[in-house]
Amino acid sequence: MKAGDSVFESPWFAYGFRPFFLLAAVYAPLALVPWVGALLQQFTLPMAIMPLAWHGHEMLFGFASAALVGFLLTSIPSWADVQPLTGKALAVLVVLWLLGRVTFWLSASLPAPLVAVLNITFPLTVLAWAAPALLSESGRRHLSIGLALLAFVLVQGLFYLSWLWPQLSVLQPLVLLNTAVNILLVLIALTASRIVRVVAMVAREAAGEAGPPRLTPAREYLAVAVLILFVLADMLAPGHPVTGWIALAAAAAQADRLSEWPWGKAMGKLYMLLLTMAYLWMVAGLVLVGVGALVDGLPGYVGRHALSIGAAGTAILAVFCIAGLRHTGRSLNLPRIIWPALVALFLTALLRTLVPVLRPELYLLAGVGLPFLLWLVTYGLYLAGYARFLLSARADGQPG
């Protein structure tokens, strides 16, 4: 065996979730540094686009994209019965993601088309790998996730179009970023059924409750359908009263779906609590977006951080924790260190949601600085609890 081959045969490249969960967790606070530094007037990173758009791009197409890809690289092989990406092929994807991050940080010094091409290459490569698997006979029942992934990549492409040729784009960059967040919500809703059915049964058994949870498919389909309608309305007519009513309808449909989850002793399990908190944030965020569109005087960004940090952020942490145990051959007993991580993440979302509206005079301190520190604590605690799992071989001796 060649010396270089040993690197690609290490546990880090044994399965897709390993490098991308780890990189996403490291990058989560790092990506905020230029944005927070600029807001606090401590330092400024030269940027080719306005700082808010830069910040949104890196949180969505940098951090969240790595988390999403890590999940899909791990889930699709089991859904569609295809071989997972490992070793050198997985390393190529990691390099593409890293190139995207480096070029976007240096975007003020590099040709804009080069930055855009290198950044879109990563999700297009993932899409090219996922499409045949999800179009296969065994993978078609998960095709909806592939379509949502395609929509996410298309929105990323439209973002670069609006940056490079603004005269050709009918959608503003911030609208596209909000749309990307909303598509993540659809992906969360689509995958929730698959994840909850598995972990809720484990939680009910651990709590001494018999049988799997009873989840009504029709109610799940309705929740996803109304959420997709909200994505379209919020993209084409953000802030419009009709969009507000659709947001409220989407919130009601998610709350109805959530009512079927195992509300009992099983909810005391941390992995169930993480998933439930993510969905509760989705309901709260949709309500705030809806009310913001219907009530004069409320800013248009009301509810956006509840959806991004609260719903998407908590769902990502939940997947990191659950998959980080199940796919490393460990029992579903989350390390205790995740409890304070969940509290820190909850406070991050709460402060970013409420402070700008209720106490704008404290925005920099309580709405930016403190949430950044709490976000740093969240992923610092996750890394402290899970880095060794992601970097070492499976506990049960199985490959992956």
For residue 320, which of 137, 111, 71, 74 has the smallest C-alpha distance?
71
Identify whether the C-beta of residue 47 lies closer than 8 Å to the C-beta of residue 31.
no
Is pLDDT of 42 > 80?
yes
| C-beta neighbour count of 304 within 10 angstroms | 24
User: pTM for this structure?
Assistant: 0.94
CA-CA-CA-CA dihedral for 349, 350, 355, 357, to nearest 10: 90
List, for residues 280-324, the tens digit of each pLDDT value.
999 999 999 999 999 988 888 889 999 999 999 999 999 999 999
Residue 58's contacts (CB-CB under 8 Å, 6 or more residues apart) are 31, 101, 104
- Give the number of C-alpha atoms closer than 13 A to the C-alpha of residue 305, restricted to the C-beta side: 20
Cα Rg of the chain (Å, integer): 20
pLDDT of 137: 85
pLDDT of 192: 85
Is pLDDT of 260 > 50?
yes
SS (H, E, C) the chain: CCHHHHHHCCHHHCCCHHHHHHHHHHHHHHCCHHHHHHHCCCCCCCCCCCHHHHHHHHHHHHHHHHHHHHHHHHHHHHHHCCCCCCHHHHHHHHHHHHHHHHHHHCCCCCCHHHHHHHHHHHHHHHHHHHHHHHHCCCCHHHHHHHHHHHHHHHHHHHHHHHHHCHHHCCCCHHHHHHHHHHHHHHHHHHHHHHHHHHHHHHHHHHCCCCCCCCCCHHHHHHHHHHHHHHHHHHHHCCCCHHHHHHHHHHHHHHHHHHCCCCCCHHHHCHHHHHHHHHHHHHHHHHHHHHHHHHCCCCCCCCCHHHHHHHHHHHHHHHHHHHHHHHCCCCCCCCCCCHHHHHHHHHHHHHHHHHHHHHCHHHHHHHHHHHHHHHHHHHHHHHHHHHHHHHHCCCCCCCCC
pLDDT of 202: 79
Is pLDDT of 211 > 70?
no
Mean pLDDT for the chain overall: 92
List, for residues 154-207, the tens digit of each pLDDT value.
999 999 999 999 888 888 999 999 999 999 999 999 998 788 878 877 777 777
Average pLDDT of span 87-93: 95
Banded model confidence at residue 386, pLDDT cuts 50, 70, 90: very high
Q: Could you give all domains of the chain from N- to C-terminal order, each with its CATH number?
A: 3-391 (1.20.210.10)
**What whole-number percentage of the chain has pLDDT above 90?**
74
Banded model confidence at residue 380, pLDDT cuts 50, 70, 90: very high
Angle at CA of residue 266, ends 263 and 271, nearest 5°: 105
Average pLDDT of span 86-94: 95
pLDDT of 188: 95
Identify whether the C-beta of residue 398 lies closer than 8 Å to the C-beta of residue 33.
no
Residue 143's contacts (CB-CB under 8 Å, 6 or more residues apart) are 134, 135
Is pLDDT of 1 > 50?
no
Average pLDDT of span 387-397: 91
List, for residues 49-66, the tens digit of each pLDDT value.
999 999 999 999 999 999
Identify whether the C-beta of residue 276 lies closer than 8 Å to the C-beta of residue 192.
no
Single-letter code of the amino acid located at 202: V
pLDDT of 81: 78
Average pLDDT of span 367-373: 96
Report the alpha-carbon distance of residue 164 to residue 266 in Å, rounded. 50
Average pLDDT of span 32-57: 91
Is pLDDT of 383 > 50?
yes
